[in-house]
Chain A
Amino acid sequence: MITLTHFLVVSACIFCIGLYTVIAKRNAIMILVGIELMINAAILNLVAFGKYDKLNYSGQIFALFAIVLAAASVAVGLAIILNVYRHYKTINPDNITDLRD
């Protein structure tokens, strides 16, 4: 029997890996990848919980919304990354420190 806890644990693992990617990776695309991982973990949770809501299908529907949003964010994010790259000739966020004090 696959319980909810199984999903949650897996999703926690994926989320933490995504978190790590976002913080640690020195490549903007990889950061995007990390974000996608975290979104996927979230979607997994949505879907897992959605199993117990047959009346509204809310889990699956919001999972779909999230997928769409993720896609949009990736599109925009990539566009930004391309611009950044054009501008700084690098996609290593460590080298882009305009926010620095």
Chain B
Amino acid sequence: MGLLSLLIFLPLVATALILLLPNRMQSNYKYIALGFTVIQFALAGWLYVQFDNSASGINQISGFQYLEQLPWIRLDLGSLGQLEIDYFLGVDGVSMPLLVLSAFVMLMAIGASWNITKSTKGYFSLLMLLNMAVMGIFCALDFFLFYIFYEVMLLPLYFLIGIWGGANREYAAIKFFIYTLFGSVFMLLIIVGLYFSVVNPDTGAHTFNMLHMMNPNNYVDGSFFAYLNNYYEVLGIPARMLGFIVLFVAFAIKVPIVPLHTWLPDAHVEAPTPVSIILAGILLKIGGYGIIRVCYSIFPDAAVDANWWLGLIGVISILYGALNALAQKDLKRLIAYSSVSHMGFVLLGVASLTAEGISGALFQMLSHGFLSAALFFLVGVIYDRVHDRYIYNFRGLASHMPAYTGFVAVAFFASLGLPGFSAFIGEAFVIIGTFNAESVGTGIPRWMAIAGSIGILLSAAYLLWTLQRMFFGQTRFKGGEAWASALTDINTRERIILFPTLALALVLGIMPSLVFDKMNATVLNLVSLVSQYL
């Protein structure tokens, strides 16, 4: 059993343990979940430290580390050849930081679940199941395996939102589920199409191996997704472009991009705090990760053609999300829309196809991962206390909850891109990379960089405005004295969760090399893979 398998399936052990323990040991579930996640985090951290910086990943098997490849399903399909599905895991510079991020955010989420009382058994076992699926997604290199993890992830989330969520939870859960399923169902079609287009050069059988899909030589001549002699068209769209678009839509729903983002505010708002944390911290990253790992790596030729549109969508997401956030009166919804805006940078950075832009995008994913998690956690803090998060119902929290306000201010400033915090590095390099794109000739014009930078301005606007409206001024609450006594300042548990998160944002902001060093070779490899089609 390899280390990655251990990393993936540790939470499953926790799930089993939680399910086996009788209900009267209810109070121990969270400790079990916590314990296993701590081990997982430590393991992920160890893997991260041991990770070889020179690994170039993406399309070369030698560039991946901690590889595990076992034949999983081998089915003789007669004239269709052999069905070849591998249990194939490995990490490169793109997935390694995200693995650590996932483990970290999971830890946060469990910390935030401390006060959950409603059927803890189900809750924690679902949480651990989700943990497993997420880890699996980041490690899987076989498309079939990837898809399985991708679908498995939906199930616990659906229940976590649908059972432990807020007032409108069923609506949000079903919306989330259908949105994602909508994307992934079509993804399955493309996966099958790819399967029949690609052969494993070693065995000659069709394969789900993603690395083989990235090599043009492995495509069967004249197959549906072949590079050469491909005249297939669907509705006038060339087959490879179609494949790219469908996969992009599947992942873009997760990111989310603007016309497909409406599940996000609902899901975030209705989900319980820990699930919001996971949604913002990990789930959205799966979208970005998928676009890099799947869309750009498997369909680089189509990606290059579609680049301009992707950049445009990124810019629209940035501005649109920011403008929406500006109009929100619900704090959680505001942060949800700010996620849309911040994730737009990821898309813009990836579309820039410059090393700076892609690195910036990946960094932005990480940074947004724990910053948005921290923000949702902070919303959860007041929501826990008074069950309200309407901005205008609070005033002058700074005098009432000074420590809390301190954390909020740091988190807000960190996420509006104050230098010294991680978000700055991400956003600045996305802008710089996008600006560079025109010189490199990737088809992203410079005005997109400028438009994107307006998003930074707007993010400052809505966050500072919120800070001013909720935290400054004379203390005044809608709930009067009852609220004043309920709104106790942040407690030790919450401090323990928040402090490392914000400290991490600071450390990464000051020493981005901690992450950039790990991903640099991979990013360069991705750029060179894609840019040959420019």
**Is chain B in direct contact with chain A in the complex (CB below 8 A)?**
no
A interface residue numbers (CB < 8 A to B): none
